[in-house]
Amino acid sequence: MEELTEWLSQDDTDSMTYIPDTFDCDDFAIRLAQNAAADGYFIGVFLAEDGRHFKNFAYIEGKADVIYLIEPQLDWVSIPPMRLG
């Protein structure tokens, strides 16, 4: 998770200006995913449970394979992560 939070701190997506119906939650999520891909990472985009807000997710391999949820407008990472399996 340290690599993820370090990358997020250097990414500028969260500093973009929110503009309703022009640059809103889906645009933040897509931009974060595109920036991650450009840096060699995979971060996915999904529609949150409420069906009204887009977020991101990152799968991190390691001693405990987990999926972290990311709020792209604020760089918030969900804790605790969801465990697979």
8 A C-beta contact, residue 16 and residue 23: yes
User: Per residue of the chain (85 residues), what is the pLDDT tens digit?
Assistant: 888 999 999 999 999 999 999 999 999 999 999 999 999 999 999 998 788 899 999 987 775 677 889 999 999 998 554 555 5
On the 0-12 / 13-18 / 19+ scale of CB atoms within 10 A, 4 is middle
Residue ranges making up the domain that contains 77: 2-83
**Residue 71: CATH number of its domain:** 3.30.460.70
8 A C-beta contact, residue 8 and residue 77: yes
Q: In whole angstroms, how far apart are CA 10 and each of 39, 64, 65, 73, 79? A: 11, 25, 24, 14, 20
Pair type for strands 82-83 and 44-47: unpaired
Domain tally, the chain = 1
